[in-house]
Amino acid sequence: MFVAYRRHAPGGFLQQNTPWESAQPSAPARLESLGLGAIVALGAALRLSHLGDQALWFDEALSLEYARLPFSELMARLSVADVNTPFFYLLLKGMTLLGDSEFLLRLPSALAGILCLPVLHALGRRLGGPAVGLLAALLLATSSIHVRYSQEVRPYTLMALAAGLALWGLARLLQRGGHDGWGWATYVLGTSLALHCHSTMVLLPFLANVAALAWWLAGGRGDRRFPLRWVGANAVVVVLWSPVLALVARHIVVVLRTTWMHRPDAHAGAVMVSETYAPAAEGWGITALFVLMAAAGVWAWRRRPLALLLTLTFAAGVPALTFLISFWRPIMLSRTILWPTLPFAILLAAGCLALRPRVLSAAAVIFLVAAQGVAVADYFDTERPEPWDEITGLISRHVEPGDAIVVQPWTARIPFRYYFRALPDSFTLFGLRLDHPHDREREPGVLTLDDLPALAERHARVWLVLRNPGSLRGWTARAPLEQAFDLAAQWQARNLEAGLFTRRQVDPDAAPP
């Protein structure tokens, strides 16, 4: 047994002994350290492999654009067009001092993803013992969804790291009945960092309060001053969060009201959770196995209420609340429910290790890790959706002085400019905004549909670059140009398309209409 309970101890029924905190035999400790080192090395190899090979896609290029903005302009942009807070972009700004290659830009996310592994091991070890901690870290190390977001210039693995630290601090202070300075400090700092990463991280302190209240009501009253200290700790969190509190409120009230995200139905929500929590293969068979192993973990910990409380509250509570909130403000995406995969991995590990006989437990571990490994291999073999380097390289080889380049959507000028290598005076770059109101002041370099036919008067050749060319927006953008130009050439690169339109020649001998 890794855990024993003292029903009559000051902490009550939910107070745990943690015998592994005392001096351990040196041989098991060394084996555990070697195991963790191997898992972290595996996770690092997967997250750093081919890190700079693929072109930045739109969201990554947007992160770089935000990182280059002055702080005041960054805050202004985030208040109208994003639900991220500025911390990650400021961190990225520091990274750009070393360079802006794809590898360097993705490195902060990769490092955060790697650091999640020892943090998850520490959390799993505290809740279930060394074996649970090591297996949970191994499951996260081989998770394709975690590898994927560790290789994006976005804050999602940093959110997971901050949440993992907060949960470790919460577990430690509850296990010790509130008598733990490190637990309090880690909970406060981890929660504050998480709130500075993304507006949806408000679910972390909300569910932490639910867990703490449940612990208190169930008899976990080792410190009579715990309620006062808990209120004080959360007050510190709010103070540390206060610089962006107004921005988060605007995200909730204004930005998310007109977001591009859709309200998921039950099926879409289930698919999203399956792809995030069970990133192994398509189909519901593998998902069912993940669910069964997690259910086995719940059953195995039925007499470990604190461990069960701190895993199930977040692993199940975050996707459930995210789904419900999405009927009011759509926020449910795989990236917003990435961080609770950490406590879910602990439940998976507990379930696998609880199986009997041991050969069945070993088979479950091998199958889950192998299935996830196949998904990781598929991830590396799959071509990324937006090869901006290819499409801009093609245009730069064929562009001529005086050409106009129109990019739709208008914000896609960001990745286009990052990769386009032609001389600035050899072309004019525009963004096409299909939803631009006629009664609002035009932004420099942004066109509407009504402006496209007039390009024939100023430019003999116009390039139209489309992101998601097969959509209705792509067809809408092409139609005005086809009225005044002839399509001379067209290239496609996965989710991108470039068309060269040349001014239509009028036959002088043709009879007037």
- 103-130 tens-digit pLDDT: 999 999 999 999 999 999 999 999 999 9
Q: What is the pLDDT of residue 2?
A: 35
pLDDT at 7 over 50: no
- Selection from 186, 235, 185 nearest residue 209 by Cα: 235
- In 258-337, at which residue ranges do the beta strands (DSSP E only) sit? none
pLDDT of 424 above 70: no
Could you tell me the pTM of the whole model?
0.89
| Per-residue pLDDT at 281 exceeds 80 | no
For residue 255, give the DSSP letter: G
What is the average pLDDT across 284-303? 92
Q: Which residues pair with 491 in a beta bridge?
A: 498
User: Is the predicted pLDDT of residue 512 greater than 70, yes or no?
Assistant: no
Tell me the pLDDT band of 167, cut-offs 50, 70 and 90: very high
- Average pLDDT value for residue range 427-441: 72
Mean pLDDT of 373-395: 90
Spatial CA neighbour of 260 closest among 57, 60, 81, 438: 81
Stretch among 1-10, 127-136, 172-181, 303-312 having the lowest mean pLDDT = 1-10
pLDDT value for 508: 53
Mean pLDDT on 45-49: 97
pLDDT value at residue 254: 78
Which of 2-11, 26-35, 250-259: highest mean pLDDT? 26-35
Q: Residues of the chain with pLDDT > 90: what percent?
A: 62
For position 442, what pLDDT does the model report?
61
CA atoms within 13 A on the CB side of 443: 11
Among 121-125, 211-215, 433-437, 496-500, name the one with the lowest average pLDDT. Answer: 433-437
pLDDT at residue 164 above 80? yes
User: What are the strands of the beta sheet with 427-432, ordered from one edge?
Assistant: 446-447, 427-432, 403-408, 461-467, 496-503, 485-493
* Stronger pLDDT, 247 or 16, i.e. the higher one: 247
Instruction: Give the residue-averaged pLDDT of 279-284.
Output: 74
Buried b (16+ CB within 10 A) or exposed e, 342-374: bbbbbbbbbbbbbbeeeeebeebbeebbebbee
Q: Output 225 or 231, whichever has higher pLDDT.
A: 231
Q: Examine the pLDDT at 441 and tell me if it is beyond 60.
A: no
The listed range with the strongest mean pLDDT (219-223, 435-439, 482-486, 498-502) is: 498-502
Confidence of residue 135 (pLDDT cuts 50, 70, 90): very high
Which of residues 169 and 279 earns the better pLDDT score? 169
- 8 Å CB contact between 290 and 276: no
Q: Kindly report which listed range (10-24, 187-201, 391-405, 427-441) carries the lowest average pLDDT score.
A: 10-24
Decide: 215 and 14 in contact? Cβ < 8 Å.
yes
pLDDT at 240: 96
Q: What values do phi and psi take at 130, rounded to 5?
A: -60, -40
pLDDT exceeds 90 at position 434: no
Reference 204, options 189, 191, 185; nearest CA is: 191
**Amino acid 9: pLDDT:** 40
Quote the mean pLDDT of the chain.
88
How high is the pLDDT of residue 330? Answer: 87
Q: Which pLDDT does position 225 carry in this prediction?
A: 85
> What is the rounded average pLDDT of the residues 388-403?
90
Residue 354: name the closest of 288, 292, 297 by CA. Answer: 297
What pLDDT was estimated at residue 5? Answer: 36
Q: What is the pLDDT of residue 148?
A: 96
pLDDT at 482: 86
User: Does the pLDDT at position 470 exceed 80?
Assistant: yes
- In the predicted structure, residue 440 carries a pLDDT above the cut 60: no
Residue 12 has pLDDT above 60, yes or no: no
pLDDT for 256 = 74
Q: What was the pLDDT predicted at 184? A: 95
The count of other CB atoms within 10 Å of the CB of residue 44 is 18
Most confident of 12-21, 41-50, 399-408: 41-50
